Structure formats: structure tokens, C-alpha cells
Structure 1
Amino acid sequence: MHSLRYFLTATSGVPNFPEFVGAAVVDDVLVGYCDSDAKTAKPKQDWMKEFIKDDPTRGEWYAEKCFRNRQVFRDRMEGLKRRLNQTGGVHVLQRMNGCEWDDETGEVVGYNQYGYDGEDFIALDLRTLTWIAPKQQAFITKLRWDAEEERLKYNEYYYIYKCPEWLKNYVHYGKSLLQRTDLPTVSLLQKTPSSPVCCHATGFYPKSAAMFWRRDGEEIHEDVAPGEILPNHDGSFQMSVDLKLSSVAPGDWSRYECVFRLSGVEHDVVTGLDRARIRTNWVTPSEFPTGAVMGGVVPLLLLAIGIAGFMWRWHKNGFRLANTSDSSSSTDRDSATARTTSFQPLS
């Protein structure tokens, strides 16, 4: 399964951040970027630079789309603020659009959806060629956009035919990166002797992977807490799955295994539950310094405990895709953009 997604973000009232940001992502890899400060579209992968060199019109198209969407999103943002009587504060308008293509079955899925201030706002249903408005505030927009038949027909053509065509070209140019297979480094981690054992895998590619614990060869779900797949800075991924040791009898450790499974790879990466393999920063009481040294350690520990009392929570939603009937520096800012495109959901 391959994907081409565009994330467009307009902000109002966000300090030290461009009022408009655009990102093009192929198979979860950032390949293009633009913002209202840079005022130009920049390829972010060597193979994308080669693609634009062979087809300069594509680079011109991205630059034009970036400039045009900056104006469109600014107008839409101001219109929404007026309609919702919002005179100040922080506001975020986003669009996520693109397509997915299964290179085995040929199935195509297209989507075009908007979110406002972290909530679903409006989305295109390609099966009926109508807009879905999950919020009452978007109903006026739905009626107006449903009446734009020419635009609806163009959306149908673009997401079912044109977008997959472009995606296939990108996959061809970037196959050395996008179609590689990297197995992870797997470690067993534990905070304290009573904490769950975390089986952590990092450095794998592609993203289509699964990780679980099993006992006597059978996958288990009780007392197991799987984590989500997260990106690494180098384009690879990481994930983890925890096992509560309270459910494991001391003599039964050898019956448990952590299994990492990567799509397209025949053999799993299996790591047995072995106390000697667990990595931890835990220090036993007998290892603490004594005497004069202890006097300096205790205040530091108390300070650490005090700091640990402050906790921040962050919440994140995912996209729901609509199927078709057929199917610090500027570099730091670019990296932050890929994250920004997911902190406010579009669905």
C-alpha cells in the first residue's frame, strides 16, 4: 500500500510560526515543503529533486499551489472566524487530501477533508460526490460546495485517476528509499523491578509492522499494552509493547517471547523474556553512595521527585479516510511541520 498525502495548515494567533504551511508526504516520508515565510516549494528528498529536474513543470506546479493555497486558506480562515464570532485567540484550519494505491490489487482510495481547531469540519465523499458536514457550523459550506458540480467532477477525476498516477511516479523515483526493508533493533527495557517490561523496536521500515507478546507460542492480550508506531528523525520507525510482570510467575519467564513482525519479511524477530537482557537505570539501595556523598544525592533525588509532579498530557486524533467506489533553523522548522500536520486532525 502506497500513499500520497498533502497537509495544508493555516494558523491565526500562533506566535513564531508561519501563517501557512504545506507538506507533501509519500509513504509517510516528507518529500516537499513550503510556507508563507520561505515563499517557495522545496523538495526534501534527493530522489524528489531528481524527479523535478526531469519534470520542471511539477516544481512550478507545487510553487503555484503553495502561493494560491496560502491566499485561499487565509480567506477561509477569516470567513470561519467571522461566522463563528471569533475575534481573537489561536485558531488552526487544516486540509488533508491525497490518495492511497495498492500495488497488488490496484485498489485506489482518495480523500479530501478539513479540520478546524482540532475537530472534524467537512469531508468529501467520493462515492456520492457530496460533502459531509459533521458539525452544524459547516452546513452552510456543504450546501455551497455541493452546488459546485464542476469542482466536484474535478475532485473525482483528480483523486481517482490523477493522484494515483503521480503516486506511481513518485514510488518509481523513490523506490530505493520507499521500497527498502529495514529490520529493527529490539531491546527489553524496564524502569523499576516492579514496572512492566517494555519490548522496544526501533529503526524499522516500512511502517507496516506488528508487535506483540506470546506465551508458549500463542499471542496474548491480557496484561499487555501495545504502543503506537512513531517516526524517527531518519525516516525509520519505532514502536513498543509492554508486558505486566505481575501476571508472570517467576518460573515461567522462559515461556514468554516478544515478537516483531514486518510486512513482506518471512521471519519474525523474536526476543525471549530474559532477566539478563533487560536494560534499566534502576539503582538498588545497596548501590547508593553513603556518608558525605549521600548528603548531595538526597537533595537531587528530592528535586527530581518534585519535578516529576508536573505532568503534561497531549491528545491526538486520527484521520478517517473516505473510500472511492473503485477502491533551531529552517531545517528544524521543516521537521516540525511534519509533526504539526498531525497535532490537529483532519477527518
Structure 2
Amino acid sequence: MKILVVLVLLGLHSAAAVIHSLKYIYTASSQVPNFPEFVTVGMVDDVQTDHYDSNTRRVEPTLNWVKRFKEDDPQLWERDTENLRGHQQVFKANIETVKHRFNHTGGVHVYQLMYGCEWDNETGDVNGFAQYGYDGEDFISFDLKTMTWIAPKQQAVITKQKWERVGEGERWKNYFNKRCLDGLEKNLNYGRSSLMRTELPSVSLLQKTPSSPVSCFATGFYPDRAMMFWRKDGEELHENVELGEILPNHDGSFQRSVDLNLSSVTPEDWRRYECVFHLSGVKDDIITKLDKTIQTNWGKTGDGRDGGSPGFPLGAVIGVVVVLLLVVVGITGYFIWKKNKKGKDGFKPASTSDSGSDNSQQNLKA
């Protein structure tokens, strides 16, 4: 079994984006050291907005604008807290049920529910998601278009038959089309100034050694909808290029890098190459030509010229990121199955409130 610990931090759509989302993630775990047995995370446009766990037993906002939301409607947050305490008991029972179906007794195990809705503010289209996972793999999911439950595991067929018998799909549909959208609208109104902001990055060219790839490193951009690539003579390159993932910075902005292998390129041809950074919603790209000064570990550029910042280690950048990830994971991390899903990473069950979930709307027992 493989478990991937990930975090959700401040991933927002830009002002030009037309797809908005409200999502929740429930995670029940068994015998995981130093980790609550039940954790939930709420997100708006992929930004973490609230957190609940079985240790604190309270829903707490994680952003200032969410705190204002709570101050304006404290009763709503109290209801959400009570609902999640109920979910905690259901999930505690569910993980034991699923473990029994897989003939698992001891050891570390994780059971998750991820759900939510997406809304296209130009077309008005609504898409809803409800996905359950167990020990890093899909367990059962709901297809809103066909109104059916999909059980990729034989152990989930019992749950599929039960939920189809009680009409659980219809309840999810009603949630997606009404209450989820209402909650999304409220959250967008409160967080508009933060969710819609745009920040351009600083871009640097980095290289560890004369034989290492040149890394085009962009940091400080916001939101996380960004593209980076190398091009030669105006044409985008696909060979000898490695694109890194978008990672969060400690201040809520993001960073990304794209590496170019220059082992077969002569120094005279360097100026034919350039790095392009494109941020969604921003008209002009940031273009960095390869003949600019490169920050290195040895104080010279790759072609032997005196370089920019001697002793600057690319590894230090990565190291700082890793440390920050570990720190934040210890606070707000959660388990998510390893399967790489296209688009969104899934969601949690329906909610009758504007910010959380309601047990009365979900037959969550597996």
C-alpha cells in the first residue's frame, strides 16, 4: 500500500478564469502515528478555507476572509461543527467496514470521501463530483451525468447496491444543483479580492554545474494557473525539456521551473533559446533569453563567462520548499489516493449549509 501525503494551499483561479469550485475532503485513518483519525478540509477554487479534525472537534477558518464569513454567521459554523462530529462517527465505522471487506485487520489504512461542484460562470454549466477512496485507490464514485454509482472494486459492490436502492444519487444531484452552488456563491463574494488577484513572478536562470541542465525558475506568481516552456528560434521545444510541478511558497504564492538540457548546444547558439512564462488572464508573457546571466554554484555562467551570484545553490531553493512542505503538512496535511486524476483531484459529500456538510443529506454508511 502506498499513501501520499499532500497539502492543499492557496491554489486560485485568476480573474479571467470562468470555472469556480467548492470542494471538501474527508479523511478517516487507522493506526497512523501522530495523525488525527478524522480530518476534513474545505476549499474554494482550490484554496483551503477551513479545517476540522477529531482532536479539535471544531471547524476553523484558515483565511482572513473566511473568518469574516464566520463572524457574520456564527450559527452556520456551529451547525457545520455538529455535522462534522456526526460524520466523524460515520467514517470511523466505515473504515472498519471497508477494512473487513478487504480482510484487513491491523496496520495503516485510509478511507476518504472527496466531493464538490464546479460552475462555469459563462455557460452556467454545473458539474458535481463524489469520489471515495481506500488505501490509495478508487473505491466508489458517483457519475452525475448517468446518475450511477461506479464500483471499480468488488468490495464496493455492496455499497453501490445499497446506495442505488435508497436513491442516494438523487440526493447528490439536488445538492450539486442547489446548495453547493449557493455555498460557492457566498464564498466567492467574501473572498473575491483575494481569489481574483494576479501577481507576476520573478524569473531566474539557474544551473548547478557546467554540465547540468539550465533551470528557468519562476517564483512569486499567483494564481497557480501558469504555463512555462523553452523555445528555440520562436518554436516551442519538447525534447530535452523537463517541466516541474507547480509548488506553493510560504506566502501563498507559487513557484515552478522548467529545465533545458544544453549538453549538445554550443555556447554560440545559446541566444537562440528563451524561457517563456505565461500566467492565465495576463496578456503579456515573461520572456527570459538564455544569454542573460545565469546564477550558478560556481560563480560562472555555463559558457564560461563571469556569472551572477556565485555560490547560489539551486538545491537551496528546493530544500527550502521541502522544509516548508513538511512544516505545513504537519499542520494541514491530509491523505489522498495516489492515482493521478485529470483535472480536479476529487471532492466530498453534499452539504445543506453554505459552507459545510449535513448528515441528513447523505447516507454515508458504506
TM-score w.r.t. length of structure 2: 0.77
- Structure 1: gaps spanning 5 or more residues: 285-331
Structure showing greater radius of gyration is 1
Residue 162 of structure 2 corresponds to which residue in structure 1?
144
- Indicate yes or no: 2:196 matched with 1:202: no
- Indicate yes or no: 2:294 matched with 1:278: yes
Residue 169 of structure 1 corresponds to which residue in structure 2?
186
Q: For the Cα contact (< 8 Å) 1:203–1:232, is it kept in 2? A: yes
Residues 226-258 of structure 1 show CA distances to partners (whole Å, capped at 9, x for unaligned) of: 112122222222111111112423211111111
Give 1:179 deviation, angstroms.
0.4
What is the 5 A alignment of 1:288-307? none
Q: For the Cα contact (< 8 Å) 2:112–2:336, is it kept in 1? A: no
The verdict on how the C-alpha distance between 1:62 and 1:25 changes in structure 2, with shifts beyond 3 A counting, is same
Letter of the structure 1 residue corresponding to residue 42 of structure 2 = A
Structure of higher RCO (CA pairs closer than 8 Å, 6+ residues apart): 2
Q: Distance in 1 between matches of 2:330 and 2:143?
A: 30
Letter of the structure 2 residue corresponding to residue 102 of structure 1 = D
Residues 187-239 of structure 1 show CA distances to partners (whole Å, capped at 9, x for unaligned) of: 11111111111111111111111111111112111111111212222222211
Residue 29 of structure 1 corresponds to which residue in structure 2?
47
Q: Distance in 1 between matches of 2:332 and 2:126?
A: 24
Q: For the Cα contact (< 8 Å) 2:149–2:169, is it kept in 1? A: no
Q: Distance in 1 between matches of 2:173 and 2:39?
A: 25
Q: For the Cα contact (< 8 Å) 1:8–1:341, is it kept in 2? A: no
Give 1:89 deviation, angstroms.
0.5
Residue 94 of structure 1 corresponds to which residue in structure 2?
112
Give 1:160 deviation, angstroms.
2.5
SS in 2 for 1:39: coil
Letter of the structure 1 residue corresponding to residue 62 of structure 2 = K
Q: Distance in 1 between matches of 2:181 and 2:265?
A: 49
Pick which of 84-93 and 334-343 moved more.
Answer: 334-343
Residues 134-167 of structure 1 show CA distances to partners (whole Å, capped at 9, x for unaligned) of: 1122112111111121x32220011122212211
Q: For the Cα contact (< 8 Å) 1:115–1:344, is it kept in 2? A: no
Q: What root-mean-square deviation, in Å, do the aligned CA atoms of Structure 1 and Structure 2 show?
A: 2.1
SS in 1 for 2:36: coil
The verdict on how the C-alpha distance between 1:114 and 1:282 changes in structure 2, with shifts beyond 3 A counting, is farther
The verdict on how the C-alpha distance between 1:344 and 1:38 changes in structure 2, with shifts beyond 3 A counting, is farther
TM-score w.r.t. length of structure 1: 0.81
SS in 2 for 1:277: coil
Pick which of 99-108 and 167-176 moved more.
Answer: 99-108
Pairing partner for 1:126 from 144, 155, 163: 144
Q: Distance in 2 between matches of 1:147 and 1:130?
A: 11
What is the 5 A alignment of 1:259-278? 259-274=276-291, 277-278=293-294
Identical counterparts, % of pairs: 55
What is the 5 A alignment of 1:194-233? 194-233=211-250
- Structure 2: gaps spanning 5 or more residues: 1-18, 301-325, 340-344, 347-366
SS in 1 for 2:92: helix
Residue 340 of structure 1 corresponds to which residue in structure 2?
334
Q: Distance in 2 between matches of 1:102 and 1:144?
A: 32
Q: For the Cα contact (< 8 Å) 2:31–2:109, is it kept in 1? A: yes
Residue 7 of structure 1 corresponds to which residue in structure 2?
25
Q: For the Cα contact (< 8 Å) 2:206–2:216, is it kept in 1? A: yes
Runs of 4+ in 1 over 6 A off after TM superposition: none
Q: For the Cα contact (< 8 Å) 2:200–2:222, is it kept in 1? A: yes
- Indicate yes or no: 2:249 matched with 1:255: no
SS in 1 for 2:263: helix
Q: For the Cα contact (< 8 Å) 2:139–2:153, is it kept in 1? A: yes
Pick which of 138-147 and 89-98 moved more.
Answer: 138-147
Pick which of 76-85 and 102-111 moved more.
Answer: 102-111
SS in 2 for 1:246: coil
Q: Distance in 2 between matches of 1:254 and 1:333?
A: 40
Residues 50-94 of structure 1 show CA distances to partners (whole Å, capped at 9, x for unaligned) of: 112222232123212221111111010010111221110000111
Letter of the structure 2 residue corresponding to residue 45 of structure 1 = L
Q: Distance in 2 between matches of 1:41 and 1:270?
A: 44
The number of aligned residues is: 299
Q: For the Cα contact (< 8 Å) 2:138–2:337, is it kept in 1? A: no
Give 1:126 deviation, angstroms.
0.7
Q: Distance in 1 between matches of 2:209 and 2:28?
A: 44
Letter of the structure 1 residue corresponding to residue 270 of structure 2 = W
